A = this chain, B = another copy of it.
Amino acid sequence: MELLQILECSPPLAREPLDAEQAAGVARVFKALGDPVRLRILSIVASREGGEVCVCDITGAFELSQPTISHHLKVLKDVGLITSERRASWVYYRLVPETLGELSALLTAPATV
């Protein structure tokens, strides 16, 4: 089952308990967000005017090796938070806003009455 589909059919945490399968799917995405480097990469991609970021731009923002950045990009891509497209020698990444939106909805807190 696709991860985005799991997110779509998972109720907000505050509405009813997740079943084991939903929890496993959702946890994969949160785990991807549970690393400071990946969070910064995602925020760079998500906040970019035009929506596209070249890998070289990301690599330049960190004091980490190129393979490490590549690894983190793969993790984010595998859970459906970003997509990639190769053009000539460069690979461009962009956000998948639907995934982020589903996550946000999942975390919507109950009305503080």
Given the complex, which residues of B lie within 8 Å of A109, measured CB to CB?
95, 97-98, 100-101, 104
**Given contacts A34-B33, A107-B103, A109-B101, are A13 and B39 in contact (CB under 8 A)?**
yes
Copies of this chain held together in the complex: 2
User: Could you give, for residues 17-31 of chain A, a 1 whenever the CB lies within 8 Å of some chain B CB and a 0 otherwise?
Assistant: 111100110111011
User: Could you give, for residues 30-50 of chain A, a 1 whenever the CB lies within 8 Å of some chain B CB and a 0 otherwise?
Assistant: 111111111110111011000
Which one of A36, A38, A100, A110 has the greatest number of beta carbons of chain B within 10 Å? A36
User: Could you give, for residues 53-77 of chain A, a 1 whenever the CB lies within 8 Å of some chain B CB and a 0 otherwise?
Assistant: 0000000010000000000000000
**Contact between chains at B13 and A47 (CB < 8 Å):** yes
**Contact between chains at B112 and A108 (CB < 8 Å):** no
Given the complex, which residues of B lie within 8 Å of A17, measured CB to CB?
40, 43-44, 47, 61
Binding site for B on A (CB under 8 A): 13-20, 23-24, 26-28, 30-40, 42-44, 46-47, 61, 95, 97-98, 100-101, 103-105, 107-110, 112
